[in-house]
Amino acid sequence: MAKKKQTDVKRWASFKSGDDLALAVIYSEHAEILYKYGLKFTANQKLIEDTIHDLFIDLIRSRKTLGETDNILYYLLKSFRRKLIRQVHGESRYGEDLAQEVEFGVHYSIEQEIISEEHRSHVSRELQQAIEQLSPRQKEAIYLKFTKGLDYQEISEILGMGVEASRNLIYRAIKSLKEILTDDPNLLLIFLLKRKISSSLKKVQLF
């Protein structure tokens, strides 16, 4: 959104000009997001913490010469991802698995739905399998778009691909999942229920 962008532009500029409060705000607003993003690539928390540490130290040391941005989240996600993947590769150089591929992996709420007995439908299971079969890049692109609100241009920069290609990546993923959703009798019931259930009961996973 335009105003959010304006805030980001100003905050980034204050940080660059030496404002430590701006830096503290940037950290407090983004550290957890970066951490969670890191956990999608590795379970090694020490490595994630080291990477966030290095990222912020680098930002502080080069604050005067940093470029401008109107989306701090995107800027940080991009630099963090690059550093993290380099770190994971560096780590595996000394480990047993030399050619370890760094891949984005994520658990989806549909898995919980499958576990809870009452919604163990045929369609749910097929849908879950289809989601699992999405490529790591598709999963990551969807995560960046849906959960982090990035646009295709930003996603393409992070994943190192063209804008059109990143759009197609997501579009094709959804198209493939669409095929699975046949007319499941549970769906109608679920929709009717949903309209009656208030947000306080949201923890009951209906879909």
Partner 1 sequence: MKEYRQYELEDLVLDKEFRTWVFSPEAVPNSPWTKLGESDPAKGKLIKKAARLVRALEPIEEQVPEQSLSDLWKRISKSRQQKASRAIHWAFKYAAVFILAFSLGIGGVYLLKRPQFTDTYTEITVPYGERSQVTLYDGTKVWMNSGTKLKFPIVFNQNQRKVFVEGEAFFDVAKNKKNPFIVHANQMEIKVLGTRFNVCAYPDEDQLYATLEEGKIEAKTAFAKNSIQLKPGEQLALNLQTKTITLDRVETELYTSWKENLLRFQEAPFSEVITKMERWYDVDIEIGQGVDVNRKYNMSIKTESLREMLRLISLTTPIAYEINEGKVLIHRP
DSSP code of residue 116: S
16 binds partner 1 per the rule CB under 8 A: no
Contact letters (x/-) for partner 1, 165-204, by CB under 8 A? -----xx--xx-xx--x-x---xx-xx--xx---x-----
Please enumerate in sequence order all residues whose Cβ is within 8 A of that of 123, keeping only pairs 6 or more positions apart, or say none. 180, 181, 182, 184, 186
Neighbours of 106 (CB within 10 A): 15
Among the listed residues 29, 116, 122, 135, the single contact to partner 1 using CB under 8 A: 29
CA 62, CA 108: separation in Å to the nearest integer? 38
User: Which residue's CB is nearer to partner 1, number 92 or number 108?
Assistant: 108
21 binds partner 1 per the rule CB under 8 A: yes
Structure token pair of residue 182: 């046949």
60 binds partner 1 per the rule CB under 8 A: yes
Among the listed residues 49, 116, 162, 201, the single contact to partner 1 using CB under 8 A: 49
CA 68, CA 74: separation in Å to the nearest integer? 12
Contact letters (x/-) for partner 1, 61-100, by CB under 8 A? x---------------------------------------
Task: Name which of residues 101 to 160 contact partner 1 (CB under 8 A).
Answer: 106-113, 127-128, 131, 142-143, 145-147, 149
CA 135, CA 100: separation in Å to the nearest integer? 17
Closest by CA to 135, choosing from 100, 176, 86, is: 176
59 half-sphere exposure, CB direction, 13 A CA radius: 26
- Say which residue the tokens 């994630």 belong to: 48
- Binding region for partner 1 (CB under 8 A): 1-4, 6-7, 10-11, 19-21, 23-25, 27-29, 31-32, 35-36, 39, 45, 49, 52-53, 56-57, 60-61, 106-113, 127-128, 131, 142-143, 145-147, 149, 170-171, 174-175, 177-178, 181, 183, 187-188, 190-191, 194-195, 199, 205-207
